[in-house]
Amino acid sequence: MSSTNKRDVPRRHFLAASAVAAATATVAARSTHAAQGTAIEHSAPPRRLLKTLKIGMVKIPGDLTAKFKAVKAAGYEGIELNSPGIDVEQTLAAIAASGLVVDGSVCSTHWDIRHSSPDATQRAQALADLKTALQQTKAVGGHTVLLVVGHGKDGTQEEVWSRSIDNIKQALPLCAELGMTIAIENVWNQFLYQHDGPQDQTADAFVKYVDQFDSPWVGMQFDIGNHWKYGNPADWIRTLGKRVVKLDIKGFSRQENTFTDITEDDLPWADVRRALDDIHFNGWVAAEVGGGDEERLKKIAQQIDRALNIG
């Protein structure tokens, strides 16, 4: 099986999981829809997008069930938890009571305990934490673990590259056993891009990095806002293609050089929508902005709808 065909495997798994979530919620996608006053002509069949968000954004009093119910009422189909750290029994009860699904998790230790560390003991702990996250997330019905693979401060680009790939590869047999995908996020970690570089950088290094794993269980959770400072997200989406298994979404203003709410920015959202059409993306979109109460979460859901033309 070629590496290109192998990448279709997590895609099918990903869409199958999405279909389960969609069975509990109606998510309509139209070929032409008014977004910010402009009709968008789709170049491909209408996208089917499901909204999710990070658990840390949910500032709702009460237990996990209360939080899940509020997120569901605010217009989301799923939620991403932090792992290691998932209480499986409590989470399954919250899912059953709310109808909200856990679509994935974020590795809770990846910034401080890194796969790129020059310390072999730390790399071993990073691997153990990733395996725990894969197991816990699978136990509550999720299918992805978002991962920051390392940090440029740990050495040269070549050292960070080789250490992180060698370490993460050791989790791939478990991914295959569980049917779980490691979703690499593009973040400000001074790796695979020039941190002080120009605004026309490309996703080419990310493509080479993901392809180095040669695995159907590794893809990108592409964050639309994170690298607008460095390159056009629509171009990055087209370059990454089927490597994109999931999306993160936030706003960023180049003019103000700061992160913002979704659509309160200068991102080229119309081009982003066309790029998602071009790669035939369907699936989960995870908000990653400042959270709050149920009204705040509803506002964020509406901003996602406007940005990505979800109707």
What's the distance, Cα to Cα, between the start and end of the chain in Å? 38
Average pLDDT, the chain: 89
| E strand or H helix at 20 | helix 3-22
pTM higher than 0.95 for the full model?
no
Q: Does domain 3-25+49-308 have CATH number 2.30.40.10?
A: no
CA-to-CA distance for 265 and 86, rounded, in angstroms?
A: 34
**Domain extents for the chain?**
3-25+49-308
Query: For strand 258-260 and strand 38-39, is the pairing parallel, antiparallel, or unpaired?
Result: unpaired
Number of other CB atoms surrounding residue 37 within 10 Å: 5
Taking only the tens place, the pLDDT of each residue in 124-179 is 999 999 999 999 999 999 999 999 999 999 999 999 999 999 999 999 999 999 99
Look at residue 12 in the predicted model and tell me its pLDDT: 39
- Of 14-18, 21-25, 34-38, 247-251, the range with the highest mean pLDDT is 247-251
pLDDT class for 20, splitting at 50, 70, 90? very low
Choose between 53 and 46: higher pLDDT. Answer: 53
DSSP lists the bridge partners of residue 51 as 285
Look at residue 1 in the predicted model and tell me its pLDDT: 39
The answer to whether 100 and 71 are in contact (CB under 8 A) is yes
